[in-house]
Chains A and B, each alone.
Chain A
Amino acid sequence: MEYHALHDAPFVFPNDAHPAWSIMIVIYPYITGMVAGAFVVSTMYHVFHREALRPVARLAVVASLCLGACATLPLLLHLHQPLRALNVVATPSPSSAMAGFGFIYSFYMLVLLVDVWLLFRPAIVERAHFAPGPWKNVYRVLALGVLEITPRAAEIDRKLIHALSVIGIPAACILHGYVGFLFGAIKANPWWSTALMPVIFLTSAVVSGIAVLTLLYLFLCRSSRMEPDEECMRSLSRLLWMFLVLAVTFEVAELLHVAYEREEEWYVIRELLVTKLRFSYLTLQVLIGGLLPLLILPIPAFTGVASAAFRRACTGVAAVLVLVQVAAMRWNVVVGGQLFSKSFRGFVDYPVTWLGREGLLAAAVVLAMPMLLLWGAMKLLPVWPPNPESDSGVKA
């Protein structure tokens, strides 16, 4: 295939004219990635004992749960037969990568749910006794009727939280590595078909999880007039920088590999990158979302220059850019992979619409839902760590 074939005489297979996967399939790995990434941050504290992350450890696990609760929404909105969605778990085909989703997702959410419950059990039990009015009953239900915690129970809870956090790490990796595999295993599409795809998705997932948590922490501190913990911010900046280095490395390595090998599909991918994806890939994903935060983050992560407020601002800006980078990456993979025909001789357009089940408005609502859930969860559960002296034995 040569350059001129794509320009002088483009040819698109008739069924390729309309991309089958919409913006909802862009959002699905975006949210799932944040789920996995936020959980990884919580395990940094609960498993690897990074004390600096204590202020966000609880927030991380609750945010992960809220994001996870909405992870299936974009899929449901995308399905052309949503009422048959449960067929995926009722009659799964073992040969299909997609059939694993229901089981992997359910397992992960179960781990997360039990983890959250155990983590907040002391607070729930306390509120079941002392909360005002009808809230007392709400907490009694949340406590599942067990209204006291003996020292032995607290010790068991602590061990269980540790165990669940340990189990959660591979579960989170599988959850998001699996999402990458869904794309990487499609040999029909050279833009997707690579063994690196699960790793690329996983590292970008962790990056997006850390970034969203950083922004949440900054926002919540600001709204409750709290000073963000300096060590926590530094630790988050370091984590973000480290995982961003990995994510960008894998993404660039993959592209370099395809470019260097120059197999037949390279001509279409090259044209895709310099035409259809020039802004979203080269500008957003690589330059603004990738390289810029890589340059900014070392300031708050490794130096003590300027004021703490300046360094916080650096981290915040970098986190926003990273979220843009990951969103661009999801877009470039999902939509970009459908912008060229399987004839490898022509491109198609993706019609972005505002309204409709798979429009931008619906996408914005889906993205806002986890934040609404988190707001609700924060009304119910104390996401800030308890004072050490009031800690009832369970590691906060």
Chain B
Amino acid sequence: MSLFELPILPMSATSAAGGCASGGCATGGCASGGCSTARPDQASETSRREFLKTATTLTLGAMSLTLLPGAMAGDESSSAATPPGGGHPPAKKPMYGFLIDTTKCTGAGKCLTACRVENSVPEGQARTWVERYVHFKDGRVEVELVPEIGYAASGEPQPEAEDVLRAYFVPKLCNQCVDAPCNQVCPVHASIKSPEGIELVDADRCIGCGYCVQACPYGIRYMNHETNVADKCNWCYHRVMRNEQPACVEACPTGARVFGRIDDPDSEISKRLATLPTGVLRQHLGTLPLTRYVGLTDEVT
């Protein structure tokens, strides 16, 4: 029986009629045996006690629910995880992963526009971005941000080819950490993890304290200056729940972004993870990211 199915005792009605709370005895008689001879004041006393008992149970129950780790979040996320089109929930929740292949990214910027449009990301803030790393022969490493129109179309002055040792692009997005610091620090359960392991923000619960923004080691979170709540990449959870790919993955022209089920050995991401050496960002922090990178160098932070 859930908390909300517990009977609510009509104290005032039973007291006034001199009946008891066990039903069927509103006229003063009682079919439930033990209290058939109860005096009206005694019955009233009993119902008041019952009411207090129930009220105490409800209050303590509600309090304990708020104190259970992730209890509130669990309710929401499970309801959000109902499979598209209804039907029976799957026996086991799918586990998703994200693979970034830096050797394939060309800095086209299509993913950036797709993300901004799909998720209404305000100007000046980003759920995902692409960094360009240039290693020079003299040991310098330069990093710059790829604009949405793409690196090639940006008209940025190119370094002299003979000075460059190597250059590559690194797309960034939420790492969906298994042990997410942003989730840990949220004081009000507004950072919640879906059953599929995707970190979400409950915009209706967020108080806008910004603690999660500080706690994310990857700079992914931001205070959305249009909605005034915390915001972040959620791997397009709404699309994933419709069995669609995240917008950035769909828009990527080179297949540098791979998304899929990591619990399915036949999925593309599982096959590539099985064959390619991959790494994660800032492994030493112990956040256990689900976003993995091919071709990650020490310079990438």
Instruction: Name which of A210-218, A296-304, A341-349, A369-377 contacts chain B.
Output: A341-349
**Quick one: which of B199-234 are within 8 Å of A by CB?**
205-211, 213-223, 228-229
Contact A93 B207 (CB under 8 A): no
Residues of chain B lying within 8 A (CB to CB) of residue A1: 301
Contact A15 B126 (CB under 8 A): yes
Contact A78 B181 (CB under 8 A): no
**In the complex, which of the residues A8, A84, A98 contacts B211, with contact meaning CB atoms closer than 8 Å?**
A98
Asked if B141 is at the interface of the complex by the 8 Å CB criterion, the answer is yes
B234 vs chain A, min Cβ distance (A): 15
Contact B126 A91 (CB under 8 A): no
Q: Interface size for chain B: under 10, 10 to 19, 20 to 34, or 35 or more residues? A: 35 or more
Contact A15 B228 (CB under 8 A): no
- Nearest residue, chain B, Cβ from A183: B214
Asked if A110 is at the interface of the complex by the 8 Å CB criterion, the answer is no
Contact A5 B217 (CB under 8 A): no
Asked if A99 is at the interface of the complex by the 8 Å CB criterion, the answer is yes
Residues of chain A lying within 8 A (CB to CB) of residue B96: none
**Quick one: which of B124-158 are within 8 Å of A by CB?**
124-126, 129, 131, 140-145
Residues of chain A lying within 8 A (CB to CB) of residue B189: 91, 93
Asked if A163 is at the interface of the complex by the 8 Å CB criterion, the answer is no
Most buried by B among A16, A17, A94, A96: A96
User: How many A-B residue pairs lie within 8 Å, measured between CB atoms?
Assistant: 140
Residues of chain B lying within 8 A (CB to CB) of residue A8: 140, 142
Contact A343 B219 (CB under 8 A): yes
**Quick one: which of A122-160 are within 8 Å of B by CB?**
none
Residues of chain A lying within 8 A (CB to CB) of residue B183: 95
Q: Given A20-B210, A95-B69, decide whether A87 and B188 contact each other with a Cβ distance below 8 A.
A: yes
Residues of chain A lying within 8 A (CB to CB) of residue B6: none
Separation of A198 and B211 alpha carbons in the complex (Å): 17
Asked if B38 is at the interface of the complex by the 8 Å CB criterion, the answer is no
**In the complex, which of the residues B142, B188, B219 contacts A342, with contact meaning CB atoms closer than 8 Å?**
B219
**Quick one: which of A1-26 are within 8 Å of B by CB?**
1, 4-5, 8-9, 11, 13-18, 20-21
Contact B126 A14 (CB under 8 A): yes
Residues of chain B lying within 8 A (CB to CB) of residue A94: 67, 69
Separation of A82 and B206 alpha carbons in the complex (Å): 10
Separation of A70 and B301 alpha carbons in the complex (Å): 40
**Quick one: which of A74-101 are within 8 Å of B by CB?**
75, 78-82, 84-85, 87-88, 90-99, 101
Separation of A9 and B142 alpha carbons in the complex (Å): 5
Asked if A355 is at the interface of the complex by the 8 Å CB criterion, the answer is no
Separation of A21 and B66 alpha carbons in the complex (Å): 27
Residues of chain A lying within 8 A (CB to CB) of residue B186: 93, 96
Asked if A194 is at the interface of the complex by the 8 Å CB criterion, the answer is no
Contact B129 A84 (CB under 8 A): no
B273 vs chain A, min Cβ distance (A): 26
Asked if A188 is at the interface of the complex by the 8 Å CB criterion, the answer is yes
Asked if A368 is at the interface of the complex by the 8 Å CB criterion, the answer is no
Residues of chain A lying within 8 A (CB to CB) of residue B67: 92, 94
Asked if A257 is at the interface of the complex by the 8 Å CB criterion, the answer is no
**In the complex, which of the residues A11, A21, A81, A97 contacts B131, with contact meaning CB atoms closer than 8 Å?**
A11
Residues of chain B lying within 8 A (CB to CB) of residue A392: none
- Nearest residue, chain A, Cβ from B287: A187
Interface 1/0s, chain B 143-183, versus A by CB < 8 A?
Answer: 11100000000000000000000000000100000000101
Residues of chain B lying within 8 A (CB to CB) of residue A98: 185, 187, 209, 211
Contact B214 A87 (CB under 8 A): no
Asked if B3 is at the interface of the complex by the 8 Å CB criterion, the answer is no
**In the complex, which of the residues A15, A99, A187 contacts B188, with contact meaning CB atoms closer than 8 Å?**
A99
Q: Given A87-B207, A91-B205, decide whether A344 and B185 contact each other with a Cβ distance below 8 A.
A: no
Asked if B91 is at the interface of the complex by the 8 Å CB criterion, the answer is no
Asked if A186 is at the interface of the complex by the 8 Å CB criterion, the answer is yes
Contact B66 A96 (CB under 8 A): no
Sample of 8 further A-B pairs with CB below 8 A, known A15-B125, A93-B69: A8-B140, A9-B142, A11-B131, A11-B142, A91-B72, A92-B187, A101-B187, A188-B285
27 residue pairs of the A-B complex, CB under 8 angstroms, read A11-B142, A11-B143, A13-B218, A13-B219, A14-B129, A15-B221, A79-B208, A80-B207, A80-B209, A80-B228, A84-B205, A84-B207, A87-B205, A92-B66, A93-B69, A93-B187, A95-B185, A96-B184, A96-B185, A96-B188, A98-B185, A185-B185, A187-B217, A188-B215, A342-B217, A342-B219, A343-B143
